[in-house]
């Protein structure tokens, strides 16, 4: 236990000080920390899934609070919670299958009990299905009594079947944790290999003699373009430099070493050059539930230019970047202000930025936001490790990977 605590605290400090850069790295470390945390957890005999979920939620809240702008942390926490619920459901379904057989043989004299396991089997399955899926019209009428009745019947069924079930329970204790950890390993594997999976689809989208535009630098985009190059497509790339960090320069260098013809332009020239471009391909920091994109600063402008000239705007994003929340004020709440030294040299502007002299507050302010919000109507296509999707399809992926109960992790005090 102590080493897990130390691990978590270490990670919290790194998050607060923004030492970990990039959503992929953050997602991977979060998953690993949660995996160690789960393996160290000691679970009670009954309702293990609930206890595990509560423990992971508690840790998850801390992690999210450390860096609220890095949405990948919250995404991974919610994925793990969803995994726990799924594994619990499949284990329960398997156990019920065994339970109904044993019930038929044991309690032949007690008619009431005979009906109970059969009732609880269907009821548990139905309720479990409904708790796993997001709330829907189908479950509208089922919702109220089922969730109250189900734990009751399953626990009473467990008490009556005492000994025959306890053997099952001990094995299922270990099996839940084991299954969950296996699934989290798969999750980590998916996060690590997301670039390859996305790059596999490159050849479908990039055709011969095309001109691609991108801004700044993204690992996913590099892999994507190089995969197309490997399949012997010849195309040109326009790279907008991405002020103030000028990561476009490093991207251009890398593309040249791989043998792609590259042109470097300033951000301001994007509107001028967009008419000569066939497609815009960019990476993202996070994808929100409505299909909107949190992307490096400058991409909103590129998206608007692309829409104006009817150029497809394609966003590459691994599934760990998909966030189940809706952005209600993304420019403010999901943005980070970086150091003004990236824009202005302190030496030259020291008299303007001096807080001590004169009236106290300087007239010159420098704002250096890190991210832009691109609304969903500007995005043509999302390419994820599972394939290409429309922005309006994002909600389906969310339903597959996240549970509705886990969406609100922070507000426990609210009604």
The contact set with another protein (CB under 8 A) reads 115, 118-119, 122, 126, 134-138, 140-145, 289-291, 326, 328-329, 392-393, 395-396, 404, 407, 414-415
In three-state secondary structure terms, 136 is coil
Nearest to 229 by CA among 203, 197, 211: 203
Distance CA 162, CA 397 (A): 41
Dihedral sign computed on CA atoms, order 179, 183, 184, 189: positive
In three-state secondary structure terms, 199 is helix
Residue closer to another protein by CB (options 114, 168) is: 114
Residue closer to another protein by CB (options 1, 144) is: 144
**Closest approach of another protein to the CB of residue 112, in Å:** 13
Distance of CA 106 to the CA centre of its chain: 47
**Closest approach of another protein to the CB of residue 340, in Å:** 26
**Closest approach of another protein to the CB of residue 386, in Å:** 18
Degrees to nearest 5, angle at CA 210 with 205 and 214:
75
**Closest approach of another protein to the CB of residue 50, in Å:** 22
Distance of CA 31 to the CA centre of its chain: 11
Residue closer to another protein by CB (options 267, 372) is: 372
Residue closer to another protein by CB (options 163, 411) is: 411
Adjacent-strand bridge partners of 211: 236
Residue 155 Cα distances to 149, 174, 335, angstroms: 10, 19, 47
Distance CA 58, CA 44 (A): 17
Residue closer to another protein by CB (options 81, 252) is: 81
**Closest approach of another protein to the CB of residue 376, in Å:** 8
Adjacent-strand bridge partners of 265: 240
Residue closer to another protein by CB (options 141, 167) is: 141
**Closest approach of another protein to the CB of residue 166, in Å:** 27
Residue closer to another protein by CB (options 55, 404) is: 404
Distance of CA 273 to the CA centre of its chain: 33
Residue closer to another protein by CB (options 211, 404) is: 404
> Parallel, antiparallel, or unpaired: how do β-strands 387-389 and 381-384 relate?
antiparallel
**Closest approach of another protein to the CB of residue 34, in Å:** 25
Nearest to 24 by CA among 87, 75, 94: 75
Residue 231 Cα distances to 137, 153, 212, 217, 223, angstroms: 47, 59, 16, 22, 13
Adjacent-strand bridge partners of 294: 286, 373
**Closest approach of another protein to the CB of residue 390, in Å:** 8
């Amino acid at each position: 236990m102590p080493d897990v605590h130390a691990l978590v605290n270490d990670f919290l400090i790194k998050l607060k000080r923004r030492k970990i850069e990039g959503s992929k790295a953050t997602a991977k470390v979060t998953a690993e920390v949660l995996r160690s945390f789960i393996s160290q957890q000691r679970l009670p005999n009954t309702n293990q899934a609930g206890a595990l979920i509560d423990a992971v939620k508690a840790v998850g809240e801390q992690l999210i609070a450390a860096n609220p702008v890095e949405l990948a942390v919250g995404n991974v926490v919610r994925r793990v919670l969803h995994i726990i619920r799924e594994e619990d459901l499949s284990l329960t379904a398997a156990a019920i299958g065994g339970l109904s057989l044993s019930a038929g043989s044991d309690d032949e004299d007690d008619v009431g009990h005979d009906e109970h396991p059969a009732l609880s089997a269907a009821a548990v399955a139905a309720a479990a299905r409904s708790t796993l899926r997001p709330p829907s019209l189908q479950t509208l009428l089922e919702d109220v009594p089922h969730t109250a009745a189900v734990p009751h019947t399953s626990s009473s069924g467990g008490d009556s079947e005492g000994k025959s079930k306890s053997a099952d329970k001990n094995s299922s204790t270990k099996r839940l944790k084991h299954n969950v950890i296996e699934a989290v390993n798969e999750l980590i594997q998916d996060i690590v290999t997301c670039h390859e999976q996305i790059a596999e689809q490159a050849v479908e989208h990039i055709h011969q003699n095309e001109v691609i535009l991108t801004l700044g630098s993204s690992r996913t985009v590099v892999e994507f373009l190089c995969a197309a190059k490997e399949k012997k497509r010849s195309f040109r790339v326009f790279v907008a430099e991405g002020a103030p960090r000028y990561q476009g320069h490093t991207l251009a260098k890398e593309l040249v070493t791989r043998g792609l013809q590259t042109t470097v332009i300033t951000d301001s020239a994007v509107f001028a050059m967009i008419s000569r471009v066939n497609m815009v391909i960019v990476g993202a920091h996070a994808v929100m539930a409505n299909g909107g994109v949190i992307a490096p600063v400058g991409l909103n402008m590129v998206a608007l230019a692309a829409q104006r000239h009817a150029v497809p705007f394609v966003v590459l994003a691994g599934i760990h970047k998909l966030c189940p929340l809706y952005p209600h004020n993304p420019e403010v709440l999901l943005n980070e202000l970086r150091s003004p030294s990236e824009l202005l040299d302190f030496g030259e502007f020291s008299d303007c930025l001096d807080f001590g002299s004169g009236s106290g507050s300087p007239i010159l302010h420098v704002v250096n936001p890190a991210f832009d919000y691109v609304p969903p109507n500007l995005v043509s296509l999302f390419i994820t490790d599972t394939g290409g999707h429309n922005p309006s399809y994002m909600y389906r992926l969310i339903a597959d990977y996240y549970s509705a109960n886990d969406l609100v992790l922070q507000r426990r005090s609210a009604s």
